[in-house]
Structure 1
Amino acid sequence: MSKSVNDYIHAATRDNTRKSYRSAIEHYESTWGGFLPATADSIARYLAEHAENLSINTLRQRLAALSAWHREQGFADPTKAPHVKKVLKGISQLHPKREKRAKPLGIKEIAAIVEYIDAQMLSVNNPEQRRLVRDKAILLIGFWRAFRSDELANLLAEHIDVFPGEGMTFFLASTKGDRSGRGVEYRAPALKELCPVEAYQAWIHIAHITEGPVFRKINRWGHIGEDALHPTSIIGIIRALCEHSGIENSSEYSSHSLRRGFANWANDQRWNVKELMAYVGWKDFHSAMRYLDSPDPFHKEKIELGLQGDKGLEHP
């Protein structure tokens, strides 16, 4: 059956973006009582009334949703009005909030979780074993490819190629950083330990997956469904793995913990920023820096060395 124009328009927007935009529009209309199409004044009042209980990033997302609605319906975009921009800037000045970042999941934690999974697979029944094999593949592919939870959820078996002993390639038709809409190909290596390729092959073998979503729902009886895991479910899986493996503060981890964990591991291995950006898919330097934790965050070592050098100077 041929696709309609609406089908292609629908496909042009990522599912997560579409859901968040729909939620934002519902909040503006149903919860706050706004009318669409909106005026710049009503948008400004909406921002002002939620300035204290919503983060600046959430407000920006609400503006993006309202902007998209007006453009798609053929109306002038009220969110671009100068005084709307000034209100948003004023909110960021009067209600500054520190950005909350996921705790990085480092290579030691990854190894501990894999050790836990491998030990459990020796003693549990078949239904639980399937879940453990799936979760191990999620963990190792997510870490070594620095994937977000939605990228893991969107992986399709027919878009993955395995090269035994070498590595594997992933093609994602839609990702957050792919503004061109052409899709992006990623690569991951076959490794002697903590191998993402082996973990993937073990999962698709036990799940008999040849096409469709790679990471799928599993019910309590161990039956593997047809639908992909929701991205939020992947966050829950990672937190549960951390908790069961004895890693402290498991609630502080998320799928971004894999991304940050890999970025910090690569940084510790002295990858230069350009290499890291190309591997992960970051388009600008500031995006990369948000994920990296400096080994000397207070620059203590450099300053101490500088002070030692100063002591060697002769003063008149």
Structure 2
Amino acid sequence: MLKLEDYLDAATRQNTRRSYESALRHFEQEWGGYLPATTESVVRYLVDHASKLSLNTLRHRLAALSQWHREQGFVDPCKSALVRKTLKGIRVLHPATEQRAVPLQIEHLSQVVVWLENAIEQAAQAGDHTALLRHSRDKSLLLLGFWRAFRGDELTRLCIEHVSLTPGEGMSCFLRQSKGDRQLSGRTFKVPALSRLCPVSAYIDWIQLSGLTSGPVFRAINRAGHVSDQGLHINSLIPLLRRLFTQAGLPSPEGYSSHSLRRGFAGWANTNGWDVKTLMEYVGWRDLKSAMRYVDAADPFSRDRIERGLANLPVD
């Protein structure tokens, strides 16, 4: 029988819960703070880490502390004017350019898929079932992650029983929880069947090869070729992608992360004429600011636009 704790855990995304727990451990165990915290201790914590952690990380730590105090029925020390002013001062004195994942360009996606298809063929010829499983899984994960612009935790939480296929058209993926889904009503993502770089055929190949019928779609595979009962851990996704990109010969693979798939699709859609409203609906962004963080302009330095204007100047 389910208990209250089970329902409370279900109300928060697993990735968020895990990251908040890590933030609290850092505050208590690594820094030596006490809970419940005072405004003064929170301010000291910010000052001690102002030059060590990014502003976004500090905000995340404050969010974790705030949630803990609210849930435990204590006054939230992070809401004080002193904390807000300290955070503002840190932003002024420690400005930093936001570090973003390198977007996976469509030509690089194609390069990796070609490498994977060759590796799959070689593994089949050599009778290497473990390599065959891994390469098939990676191909499915890569193509599904790109064409649906999934976040890393969405890929790791996708379950087979929540995927339905429509022959000749595509498939539907239902996620019970997703970032931005504040009502926790879940959302269905439609995935198209494509003539090239098809995520649907890659998914079918992986499921048929693995023999999986329920549970997480993407799982760890050990050296003996055993497919785990558990889904891939979110922390394993970036190393997996970087290792794959290194093997496929992509330049600077260390710049990629799971967000590279999301940013790569957004850039591809923007370059191919998708209007922002359509892109937001497809990906699931609720506000324009979130969408624009992922979209790189086709002419980032406005060079083409300015050159067109210069062309109209009379020649001396």
Q: Which residue does 1:257 correspond to in 2?
A: 260
Q: Which residue does 1:78 correspond to in 2?
A: 77
1:34 aligns with 2:37: no
Matching of residues 49-198 of structure 1 within 5 Å:
49-124=48-123, 125-198=128-201
Separation in 2 of the partners of 1:236 and 1:163? Answer: 33
Matching of residues 259-278 of structure 1 within 5 Å:
259-278=262-281
1:136-192 per-position Cα deviation (integer Å, ceiling 9, x unaligned): 000000000001111100000011101111011111111122122111111110011
Deviation at 1:204, TM superposition (A): 0.8
Deviation at 1:273, TM superposition (A): 0.4
- The letter of the residue matching 1:130 is L
Q: Which runs of 4+ in 1 moved over 6 A?
A: none
Separation in 2 of the partners of 1:270 and 1:108? Answer: 18
- The letter of the residue matching 1:88 is L
Deviation at 1:305, TM superposition (A): 2.5
Separation in 2 of the partners of 1:201 and 1:150? Answer: 21
Separation in 1 of the partners of 2:115 and 2:305? Answer: 39
SS at match of 1:122: helix
Deviation at 1:202, TM superposition (A): 0.6
1:239 aligns with 2:238: no
Deviation at 1:304, TM superposition (A): 2.5
1:204 aligns with 2:203: no
- The letter of the residue matching 2:274 is W
- The letter of the residue matching 1:93 is V
SS at match of 2:237: helix
Gaps of 5+ in 1: none
CA contact (8 A) 1:149 1:232 kept: no
Separation in 2 of the partners of 1:98 and 1:51? Answer: 15
Separation in 1 of the partners of 2:250 and 2:284? Answer: 29
Separation in 2 of the partners of 1:247 and 1:303? Answer: 32
Separation in 2 of the partners of 1:120 and 1:34? Answer: 51
Deviation at 1:310, TM superposition (A): 5.2
SS at match of 1:101: coil
Separation in 2 of the partners of 1:137 and 1:250? Answer: 19
Separation in 1 of the partners of 2:10 and 2:28? Answer: 25
Separation in 2 of the partners of 1:33 and 1:229? Answer: 32
1:72-91 per-position Cα deviation (integer Å, ceiling 9, x unaligned): 10011110001100100110
Separation in 1 of the partners of 2:310 and 2:120? Answer: 55
SS at match of 1:123: helix
Separation in 1 of the partners of 2:147 and 2:306? Answer: 34
Separation in 1 of the partners of 2:313 and 2:89? Answer: 44
Separation in 2 of the partners of 1:310 and 1:84? Answer: 54
Separation in 2 of the partners of 1:16 and 1:33? Answer: 24
1:294 aligns with 2:293: no
Separation in 2 of the partners of 1:67 and 1:189? Answer: 41
- The letter of the residue matching 2:232 is L
SS at match of 1:226: strand
Separation in 1 of the partners of 2:292 and 2:37? Answer: 37
Separation in 1 of the partners of 2:268 and 2:307? Answer: 26
SS at match of 2:122: coil
Separation in 2 of the partners of 1:54 and 1:79? Answer: 17
Deviation at 1:133, TM superposition (A): 0.5
Please tell me the root mean square deviation across aligned C-alpha atoms, in Å. Answer: 1.2
1:193-221 per-position Cα deviation (integer Å, ceiling 9, x unaligned): 11111011111111111111000110011
Q: Which residue does 2:223 correspond to in 1?
A: 220
Q: Which moved more, 1:295-304 or 1:102-111?
A: 295-304
Q: Which moved more, 1:299-308 or 1:152-161?
A: 299-308
**Paired-residue identity, %:** 52
Separation in 2 of the partners of 1:247 and 1:289? Answer: 26
Separation in 2 of the partners of 1:311 and 1:305? Answer: 13
SS at match of 2:305: helix
